[in-house]
Structure 1
Amino acid sequence: MAMLSRLRHYTLCSLALVPLAGPALAGDMSAWSAPEGTAARLVAGGSQDGALMGGVEIRLPPGLKTYWRYPGDSGVPPHFDWSGSRNVEAVEVLWPAPTRFDDGGSFSIGYKHDVVLPLRITPKDRAQPVELKLNLDFAVCGKICQPANAALDLALPPGGAATAYPALKQALASVPHPATLGAQGETGIATAELHQGADGAVLRIVTHVDHAEAADLFVEGPGEDWALPLPSRETGADGRTVFVLPVEGVPSGVDVATARLRFTLVDGERAIEVDAPLSAR
């Protein structure tokens, strides 16, 4: 569901995040968008495989949360507008492993603490500096949900920052690692199958995890028009952890059996991401 239509379901309060004006600031981080409370800023990192690394740091007051790229039943995903940037070919947001929240009758996915969303920035010309400009729309929620906006800018030198920002390094370490369906390992997805049950079709995902009571799984479709529900967790006959979700929220005319899905499995401090169609049966 689009961000604005999601926001209509909330009692909204205005949250003023003061945008920065003037030229991009040079250094390892921009100023905060607000002097206290909820705020955002850009932080610089080094370089990796020809790309510059950076991050969007969101500061949250105690008890509030913000949302992952797929926010679940009741959340609002952040929206990133990089159109004012200079010498930027592309910006990829890398998402740290999220948490599921019980909102009382619905579930959302996100972060209930300060968070850095790492960035992989591809310059048009690697020999020239980058001027990164971001217009960020996001939501901050407690008992009510507040829309927030931050206008941020930061100048990055060729090669990136000389000193790594510790919170950015920590966030990068928590980004799920790519994995393949059926691969062996301490944390992995053995199979992801479509089953027909008495109440309709379900996806059944068999995993191997070390923290069965706390492990969680998030399943996304290939486009924003998908809205798959969050799965329930159970223990299989062989003792493995199994996640089951009804086949709902699939766009009309699409066959989930052939679609390429994205599975994010969180197992304690480890997390993996599998991008694959369902297992053959």
Structure 2
Amino acid sequence: MTRIFLTLLALIGGLSAPVLAQSDDSILRAELRPGWRLADGDHMAALHLTMAPGWKTYWRAPGDAGIPPLFDWSGSRNAKTVAVSWPTPEVFFQSGMRSVGYSPEVVLPLRISTRGSGQDVRLRGQVQLGVCKDICVPKTLRLDAVLPAAQTKVDPVIAAALASVPFSATEAAVRSVRCTIGAKDGAMTLRAEIDMPARGAMDAVIETANPEVWVAEPKTTQSGGRIVAETRMMHVDGGAFALDRSGVRITLLGKGQAVDIRGCDK
């Protein structure tokens, strides 16, 4: 299958000399898989990242030890929105800190909502991400590619990545999600009790709809047949804030499986 190669540009500010001596090819290889046009007029493409042995990059919520990826598609044409699908990530522990991401490679499907279903898409923009081993190297991927409307053959690599995204709450037979809010040591606390069939040991990642709210790494336990995740939250400016329970997103990560839960029942 034809692949469109991206231009990699390292952001070198503040990096040490040994890192500057390394080429992008020695750490990270990136490709845009052009994908195919869907029956509803959307286009499915993907960003394929391959890291050197021992290196990793990060999930949308990378943990305190990670670098969150940022996407800017503002230069694109015939693209209303670009939605990233996140395959099930791994949990890494280093120096007592947890991060969430991918190693040694990841395929990130990109579903592009088009303005004209019969027209090609020009996908143009940049992706900022961190690639880490013993140190972290920030990268900017600049891309400019035409995705043809006439291409309808499914890319099996992208299809496999789509198949590995976390289960929804419905698919995982989640029965209820009860969230209790409190306060401790100047921070808001959240206790989420998730009633669902047992899936073995799982770690929780909790996000909110407000990007200015910091969420601590949850403590995840199993009690009375339920998964319990407890965390603390603070606004980045230290002020008070209201928590929208419907915007709470809980991802449970287990060995080779994950569950994506949107919102609390009460």
Distance in 2 (CA, whole Å) between partners of 1:33 and 1:65 is 19
Aligned to 1:164: 154
CA contact (8 A) 1:129 1:156 kept: yes
Aligned to 2:248: 261
CA contact (8 A) 2:246 2:262 kept: no
Aligned to 1:53: 44
* Paired residue total: 246
Write out per-residue CA displacement over residues 148-194 of structure 1, whole angstroms, 9 at most, x where no aligned residue: 122223211115x3332222111111122443xxxx76453632321
Aligned to 2:16: none
User: Which residue of the other structure, out of 149, 165, 171, is the alignment partner of 1:175?
Assistant: 165
Amino acid in structure 2 at the alignment position of 1:190 = S
Displacement of 1:63? 0.9
The range that moved more, 106-115 or 150-159, is: 150-159
Matched, 1:211 2:199: yes
Amino acid in structure 2 at the alignment position of 1:208 = M
Matching of residues 129-148 of structure 1 within 5 Å = 129-148=120-139
- Unaligned 5+ runs, structure 1: 1-26
Aligned to 1:124: 115
TM-score, structure 2 length as denominator? 0.80
User: Which residue of the other structure, out of 81, 85, 88, is the alignment partner of 1:94?
Assistant: 85
Amino acid in structure 1 at the alignment position of 2:262 = D
Displacement of 1:216? 2.3
Aligned to 1:188: 174
Write out per-residue CA displacement over residues 52-75 of structure 1, whole angstroms, 9 at most, x where no aligned residue: 101111111111111111221121
Displacement of 1:195? 5.1
Pair 1:121–1:186, CA change in 2 (3 A): closer
Amino acid in structure 2 at the alignment position of 1:202 = L
User: Which residue of the other structure, out of 219, 226, 239, is the alignment partner of 2:213?
Assistant: 226
Distance in 2 (CA, whole Å) between partners of 1:31 and 1:239 is 48
CA contact (8 A) 2:205 2:217 kept: yes
Write out per-residue CA displacement over residues 100-151 of structure 1, whole angstroms, 9 at most, x where no aligned residue: 2223232222112200111110122111111112322111001100011222
Q: Determine helix, strand or coil for the equivalent of 2:60.
A: strand
Aligned to 2:22: none
CA contact (8 A) 2:53 2:104 kept: yes
Aligned to 2:229: 243
Amino acid in structure 2 at the alignment position of 1:94 = S
Aligned-residue Cα RMSD (Å) equals 2.7
Q: Determine helix, strand or coil for the equivalent of 1:227.
A: strand
Amino acid in structure 1 at the alignment position of 2:200 = A
Displacement of 1:203? 1.6
Matched, 1:201 2:189: yes
Aligned to 1:10: none
Percent pairwise identity: 31
CA contact (8 A) 1:30 1:153 kept: no
Distance in 2 (CA, whole Å) between partners of 1:85 and 1:111 is 27
